[in-house]
Structure 1
Amino acid sequence: MIIFYIKGELFVRYQLGARERERLLESLPLTDEQRDFLIHHVKRGKKTIFANIMAKDKGIVLPGQTTNEEIEQLLDEWILDDYIDNGFVNPETRCECGRPLRYQYIVRHKTTNEKRRFGIDHFEEHTNISSTIIKDILKGFHTIDYELDELLVKISENWSLSEVVPYLPNEFKLSEGIKQYIDNDIPLLDRQIELLKKEIRLFVNQPQRLIDIVPSNVEKSLERQENDQISFDFGIDDSIHEVATTLDNNNVQINLGLTLEDQIFQFVQEGISSARVICELLIKHEQVFSVRYITGKPKIFVRVCQYLDSLVDQGIIKNREILGTDDRIYNI
């Protein structure tokens, strides 16, 4: 564990060596469920890192809570199909070059369905992904390893949620991601603790109304013209997809056609729960233009949320989770 300060604020990095990580995994009194959860955390995390960086290379910036399954809907090239940790160098698990591996990465090209199997050192050689992207991917993989270190250290120290979050308001609903950790008796990561504290503050300060998803004043001031009205054409077919955006007294009004609304609802029915991902899918399939705020958020995001909220009000969609101003999650 490395402790350091930035501008007087305490930060902790949990960084174990490979042997210490293995020792804790073997020595801690973990249940089978906890061990499986930790292994799945690493596998899921590395797949999400890979997908996020490939999406970012295409100019798509998504909130950290977006699942790798949803991100992969936006990709047409390489995705990380699987990650295998044998626990030892296994002659049955080899790199494309023939070398036996302990850790094997299996990538699949979504368009051609071609699969490649290799060790961490041969990413660039076997995928033709640029060295810059590979560097970011490997850096992200190390972050996931550090998260595993953090969880192992906290388990060894008998971490308790009540010590870091002493107050959970009545009727406060934990996000599904955080709930999975608590249900499996796994400590929360520091980043999850900060997110939980933020969600609690928002809940306490605004218990009776939805959190405003209108773009920030900074974004609006950059977009505003003298008459406080801006029009954008988000679609390919003007008669169906013309979208008028009016910024007036901090309100946003956008009109969608029936074709877009049907497509949005279809995405939800197919299991796409993130409003941000739905926006990116509309852009990918050229149903709306890629017009964005300076944060990278598509401008269609507000209207997509408004339409999905209307389905919640009608009882068609039963669940809604608000992730601050970054995203909203909807489920049938």
Structure 2
Amino acid sequence: MNLVLTVDERESLLSLLTDQQRTFILEHVKRGKKTTFANEMAKDKGLVLPSEASIEDIEMLLDEWVLEDYIDNGFINSETPCECGRPLRHQYIVKHKSTNEIRRFGITHFEEHTGIPAEIVSAIKKGFSAIDYEMDDLLSKIKRNWSLNDTKLFIPDGFTFPKEIRNHLDNQVPLLDRHIQHLRKLVSQFRDERESIKQDVPEVKKEFNWDFDSPMEDDQVSFEFDLFEEKEAQSPTTESLPINNLSGPIKDKILQYLRTVSSTRVICELLIKNHIVANQRYITGKPKIYPYVCFFLEGLVSQGELYLEDINGHEDRFYKLFK
């Protein structure tokens, strides 16, 4: 059951936070609602996105409405009205990417002012409520002095926290229950991979003619398991997606997207959306082009042209070009 604070309780707890904690939580709410909006719009287009894709990356895939801003005045304010003229405390500002049309409204008028289908509007509202519940959860955990030790998780040496979780800890803000669940999964995967390196990696490397006599770094092992963890679901179609032979135009497009997108999964969705590669997927929804884009990007890492910024378990890898 979700914890729901009253307005007064929420405001009282916010007033007790450090400036760093307050800024982080309020930004979490704003970005969370923008991400929820973008994710639901992306799902309506049949896109399958990883959990930690940034709002900027997701919006690269959208051609219609995006949530431009979310304003919480703290009180009903006549200076932030709905399109119908009613003053609002919470104002949602959406922008149509193709026409640059801007609309402003309260949470009850999404469908009326945007033409977004009712079922998508319903999912967006439900997602917004979930973000509000998350803020209440964070505030309540801060009140009771939550710490990472409360998870009773032993973090192995060499384990890397995903960026979102690391940001919470760096800003002295508790983890949400979904973070803890995800962290348990990642730690378990990390341990399983460590235990199965000697048995499994040589077989995978032999299948793809890799030199498995040379020493392997931990991140390389993790990288290879990330790419092939869905082999049991459906093997890559190697005739149409050769490992080391992505065409020049495909590589050029990947580099073009990399200027503004860090998520490998989103880059793959852009390749599919723009009909550069076929829409081939595993039964989990992950694009089959994903491991081959990763191999290409890892090659650029070894050449010093870009760097691996973050890893989200088996779901995604995030790369950045050097400035």
TM-score range (shorter-chain normalised) is 0.7 to 0.9
Provide the secondary structure at the position in 1 that maps to 2:132: helix
Q: Report the equivalent of 2:51.
A: 64
Separation in 2, partners of 1:39, 1:77: 26
CA contact (8 A) 2:244 2:296 kept: no
Equivalent residue, structure 2, for 1:277 = 266
Letter paired with 2:247: G
For residue 81 of structure 1, the aligned residue among 68, 78, 93 is 68
Match of 2:295 among 299, 306, 328: 306
Looking at structure 1, the residues matched to 22 and 186 of structure 2 have their Cα atoms a distance apart, in angstroms, of 28
2:197: which partner in 1? Answer: none
Give 1:289's aligned residue: 278
Alignment of 1:93-112 (within 5 A): 93-112=80-99
Q: Deviations over 1:58-85 (max 9, x none)?
A: 0001011111111000000000000000
> How many aligned residue pairs are there?
294
Cα distance in 2, alignment partners of residues 289 and 95 from structure 1: 43
Deviation by residue 1:292-311 (Cα, 9 ceiling, x = unmatched): 22222111111111111212
* Match status 1:20 vs 2:34: no
2:250 to 235, 243, 260: 260
What is the CA–CA distance in structure 1 between the aligned matches of 2:281 and 2:233, rounded to whole Å?
Answer: 10
**What percentage of aligned pairs have identical amino acids?**
52
Kindly provide the CA deviation profile for residues 14-47 of structure 1, in whole angstroms up to 9, marking residues without a partner as x: 3334443233223xx2111211111111100000
Q: Comparing both structures, which one devotes a greater share of its residues to strand?
A: 1
Q: Kindly indicate whether the alpha-carbon contact (under 8 Å) linking 2:269 and 2:287 is maintained by their aligned counterparts in 1.
A: yes
Code of the residue aligned with 2:34 in structure 1: it is K
Contact 1:312 1:320 in 2 (8 A): no
Query: Which one has a larger percent helix, Structure 1 or Structure 2?
Result: 2
Cα deviation for residue 313 of structure 1 reads 2.3
TM-score (norm 1): 0.83
Which residue identity lines up with residue 267 of structure 1 in the other structure? Y
Paired with 1:325 and 1:182, the residues of 2 have a C-alpha distance of: 22
Equivalent in the alignment of 1:194: 181
- CA–CA distance in 1 between the matches of 2:128 and 2:67? 12
Q: Displacement, 1:330?
A: 1.3
Is the Cα–Cα contact under 8 Å of residues 38 and 67 in structure 2 kept in the other structure? yes
Report if aligned partners of 1:165, 1:197 keep a CA contact under 8 Å in 2: no
Deviates most, 106-115 or 31-40: 31-40
* Paired residue type of 2:257: F
Query: Which ranges in structure 1 are unaligned for 5 or more consecutive residues?
Result: 3-12, 224-228, 233-242, 245-252
Match of 2:208 in 1: none
RMSD across aligned positions (CA) = 2.0
Instruction: Specify the code of the residue in structure 1 equivalent to 2:62.
Output: L
Letter in 2 for 1:263: K
Cα drift, residue 326 of structure 1: 1.5
Residue equivalent to 1:10: none
Name the counterpart of 1:5. Answer: none
1:328 aligns with 2:317: yes
The alignment partner of 2:293 has SS state of helix
The answer for the alignment partner of 1:315 in structure 2 is 304
Question: Which residue of structure 2 aligns with residue 219 of structure 1?
Answer: 233
Partner letter of residue 118 of structure 2? S
- 1:7 corresponds in structure 2 to none
Deviations 1:88-124 (A, max 9, x none): 0001110111111100000000000010001111100
**Are residues 320 and 41 of structure 1, via their aligned partners in 2, closer, same or farther at CA, if it must alter by over 3 Å?**
closer
Among candidates 28, 41, 48, match of residue 54 of structure 1: 41
